[in-house]
Structure 1
Amino acid sequence: MTEDLSSLRDEAFRDPIDQLKQLLSQSSQSFLFGAGCSRCANLPLMEELTDQVLKNETLSRNTKDILEFLVEEFKGPGVSTIEDYMSDLIDRLSIAQRRHDCKVDNCMLKLDKEYSLEDLRRSLEEIKYVIARSIIDKEIEISTHRNFIRAVHGMSRSGKLLNSPAVNYFILNYDTLIEDSLALERVPYVDGFSGGVTGWWDSNWSRNEDIAARVFKVHGSIDWCLLEGDVLPRRIRPGIKSISHDERFMIWPAATKYRETQRDPYAQMISCMRKILRPSINTDAILTICGYGFGDSHINLELDRALRESEQRLTIVAFTNENKPNGQLKKWIEDHDVQDQVRIYANRGFFHGDKQIESNSDLPWWKFETVTRLLGGER
């Protein structure tokens, strides 16, 4: 059912919408997408994904026991997800690995019972496999993402791109919706790999200037894996079973980013992100954030630093389903050093610097589907 946009036609919101369209028509565009942008494609939100993994019947008894233990450990007033459980498991796996490397007599780690390094590693891979299957096995509705790509890249009917700088996509999701949509709309892009459906990581990929888009999969991807003996990811065609995989699905939960910061490909992607969000003199950059709940402290830190170090040349356009700015967005909008650089489109209002336009009814402009329609010219 198509969302009713009548609430956005109020005269009070004409300027914020016109300004949004003007900002998103400028050069040097970047987007940061979270799980909320994949919901319209029939993919689960993090809470739904967590429930699916916890209830999955294919998990081994050890993995089920470990997850039950971690769920109990995380009990409290806050909300925890499968990414939190994975991060905790990775922390414990690191402890077990360190003991193993130091040739400690007893490398077993105590949770609900004792587990070996191999037990923990196997359980982590089982969880990753279930997460990947929860995405791969879905019937995906990709039309909204294709419409978004058409709107952003100004595709003509002939399929040729209009002359414009490369658009940067920082993706926090494990799915491949943006890559698939770019390919379906014949938009030349790079995502770190040379080759094709089966490919290898190319450290020089971000220097390619003859493209229309760059895709940065900051949390990894369901089509990435690490082969035995490799330190950088590969992309392997589904169905190839003759290759020994050390780490079948190369996906990283948010909280492990501190550990990964000095490693490629993550270090390379973050380095590119820092450069992109700190434009050179006489240029500006726009970063549009959609579908992201600001739950990754490492990403939040990068964004905060970029705002403060960009010398006012970075503008962040943030969409949130909260009625008004909370958390990181609230900190920015109340900070006189950066508040003019942040424009917040919330469920019940628009916030920019000292300006607030509030609404008594819901404003669906924070949804990825609505952003797509607005960019497509609808009002």
Structure 2
Amino acid sequence: MRDITHKLCWSKMQQDEEHNPLQCLTQLRQTLSADKLSIGFFLGAGCPCAVRVPNESGEGDRPIIPDIKGLTKKVHATISISDACKASYETLNKTFAEDGLGEPNIEAMLNRIRSFREVAGKVGVRGISFDELDGLDREICQSIRTVVTCSLPGHRTPYHALASFIGSHRAPFTEVFTTNYDVLIEQALEDRRVPYFDGFVGSSRPFFDQRAIEDGEIPLRWSRLWKLHGSINWRFNKTTKAVFRSDNSEEGDELLIHPSHRKYDDSRRMPYFVMIDRLRGFLRHSERPVALILCGYSFGDEHINEAIVESLKANASAACFALQFGKLSDYPNAVTLARDNSNLSVFAPDEAIIRRRKGRWVASPTIDVAMLRGAFEVVSEMTKVGGKELSQTHVGEMPRPCRMTLGDFKQLGDFLDEFSGYTPPESLGVTQ
């Protein structure tokens, strides 16, 4: 009777949608090691959270840069006590409450400030003048800059692992896309002596050169870095209408941070749309197959989602792997897009959508768990079926549910070390 029950349950489990973790891991390894494949990485807001630094209190640690919720909290604390902006900031928040939009994050605030500013004129909008909106924009951007201006700790972070992989990759140049304003990836690339081009040319006050980007006559050994939402060291000069990269502010400068694709004047919006075009151009590259690996991105930006999906549809040979930190149900936009696009795969810890099929991670009972190399971990062994204990023989024959861990940027960094040949200092008895 026990054998019959076991076989019936085994048959039912085989009918459920499942994905083989080893098979998917093998595909990722082949993708990352291919020497005729163009590889891109897309780093979202979740990536800095994987880098931990000590708390100011000396107890415990914290992310080097908080997520959007944490960033909003810090900016709110600063602006709420600003003599210059406190009143207008309170009025701005009231507009969200009046519209039933709850508590906005910092990107929603900037979007609203800029949309109001476009039509404010001399009378203002909803009790906020043009000058007040302009001041709020500057204060919030400066507050963001203060929070995200930091240095990577040591030389062993996921950013360094990515930089080492890029520096050792034999294929054509790697392209890195990011929605983050920080300069952590730049620090890691420079620390690993990996040359890159980010759209700016010059030394004292590098200027944004659209022609250099479009001509594409950059040394092939240089990687490309495209910052889709701007950066804490990008500045727009209102007098010259030019975009520069600099840590120092000059008269007429304002920080160029774009949380969305809002309609700015041509000079301000130029970098944003050029960067989006780079993402489209990478995925639509028809001369060789391409693969884009996303990490830390929640698919919350409709404009970027559209650029990715349209490009994947235009190039059937392109592949996109989205590595998510949370469970699959936390990313409804990603689920919808992956259901409609066979070359977009979404890997979450509990489930995945691969070739439009949604299924849980289940390892074969015969698999050597060591082959998963930390990218997956066995969640549990099935010891009961229908409330009845299985024999040890049958336990060994049952599939094993797994959990994918590569959505954690730290784990992805460890995985990339496998390809760059990096050996952790601790394995050599060295302490950093």
Please give the range of the TM-score, normalised by the shorter of the 2 chains. Answer: 0.7 to 0.9
1:155-234 to structure 2, matched below 5 A, reads 163-196=170-203, 198-206=205-213, 207-210=216-219, 211-234=221-244
1:143 to 156, 168, 172: 156
The residue type equivalent to 2:189 in the other structure is L
1:37 to 28, 42, 47: 47
1:17 to 7, 25, 47: 25
Q: How much does 1:132 deviate? A: 0.3
SS in 1 for 2:25: helix
**Per the alignment, do residues 366 and 167 of structure 1 end up closer, same or farther by CA in structure 2, a change over 3 Å counting?**
same
Q: Which residue of 1 is the match for residue 359 of structure 2? A: 356
CA distance in 2, matches of 1:308, 1:260: 29
Q: How much does 1:259 deviate? A: 7.5
CA distance in 2, matches of 1:284, 1:79: 43
Q: Which residue of 2 is the match for residue 251 of structure 1? A: 257
2:118 to 94, 102, 105: 94
CA contact (8 A) 1:31 1:168 kept: yes
Q: Which has the larger radius of gyration?
A: 2
**Per the alignment, do residues 214 and 175 of structure 1 end up closer, same or farther by CA in structure 2, a change over 3 Å counting?**
same
1:360-375 to structure 2, matched below 5 A, reads 362-375=403-416
CA contact (8 A) 1:225 1:234 kept: yes
**Per the alignment, do residues 128 and 362 of structure 1 end up closer, same or farther by CA in structure 2, a change over 3 Å counting?**
same
Q: How much does 1:284 deviate? A: 1.0
CA distance in 1, matches of 2:410, 2:200: 29
CA distance in 1, matches of 2:75, 2:339: 38
CA contact (8 A) 2:279 2:308 kept: no
The one-character-per-residue Cα deviations of 1:319-358 (angstroms, maximum 9, x if unpaired) are 11231253222113322xx22x122210213331226233
Q: How much does 1:79 deviate? A: 6.5
**Per the alignment, do residues 34 and 92 of structure 1 end up closer, same or farther by CA in structure 2, a change over 3 Å counting?**
same
Q: How much does 1:25 deviate? A: 2.4
Q: Which residue of 1 is the match for residue 124 of structure 2? A: 109
Q: Which residue of 2 is the match for residue 158 of structure 1? A: none
**Per the alignment, do residues 57 and 88 of structure 1 end up closer, same or farther by CA in structure 2, a change over 3 Å counting?**
closer
Q: How much does 1:256 deviate? A: 2.2
The CA RMSD measured in Å over matched residues stands at 2.7
Q: How much does 1:219 deviate? A: 0.5
TM-score (norm 2): 0.72
Deviates most, 168-177 or 65-74: 65-74
TM-score (norm 1): 0.81
CA contact (8 A) 2:325 2:407 kept: yes
How many residue pairs get matched? 340
The residue type equivalent to 2:323 in the other structure is F
Q: How much does 1:57 deviate? A: 5.8
1:322-337 to structure 2, matched below 5 A, reads 322-324=326-328, 326-335=331-340
**Per the alignment, do residues 196 and 40 of structure 1 end up closer, same or farther by CA in structure 2, a change over 3 Å counting?**
farther
CA contact (8 A) 1:346 1:363 kept: yes
CA contact (8 A) 2:50 2:408 kept: no
CA contact (8 A) 1:225 1:245 kept: no
SS in 2 for 1:204: helix
Deviates most, 138-147 or 127-136: 138-147
CA contact (8 A) 2:201 2:208 kept: yes
**Per the alignment, do residues 40 and 275 of structure 1 end up closer, same or farther by CA in structure 2, a change over 3 Å counting?**
same
The percentage of counterpart residues that share the same residue type is 26
Q: How much does 1:302 deviate? A: 0.6
SS in 2 for 1:365: coil
CA distance in 2, matches of 1:71, 1:176: 30
Query: Where does the alignment leave 5 or more consecutive residues of structure 2 unmatched?
Result: 1-18, 52-63, 363-378, 380-401, 420-432
Q: How much does 1:58 deviate? A: 7.9
SS in 2 for 1:316: strand
Q: Which residue of 2 is the match for residue 305 of structure 1? A: 310
CA distance in 2, matches of 1:174, 1:334: 31
Query: Where does the alignment leave 5 or more consecutive residues of structure 1 unmatched?
Result: 1-10, 100-106, 155-161
Q: How much does 1:261 deviate? A: 11
Q: Which residue of 2 is the match for residue 104 of structure 1? A: none
SS in 2 for 1:165: coil
Q: How much does 1:214 deviate? A: 0.5
**Per the alignment, do residues 330 and 125 of structure 1 end up closer, same or farther by CA in structure 2, a change over 3 Å counting?**
same
Q: Which residue of 1 is the match for residue 292 of structure 2? A: 287
CA contact (8 A) 1:258 1:298 kept: no
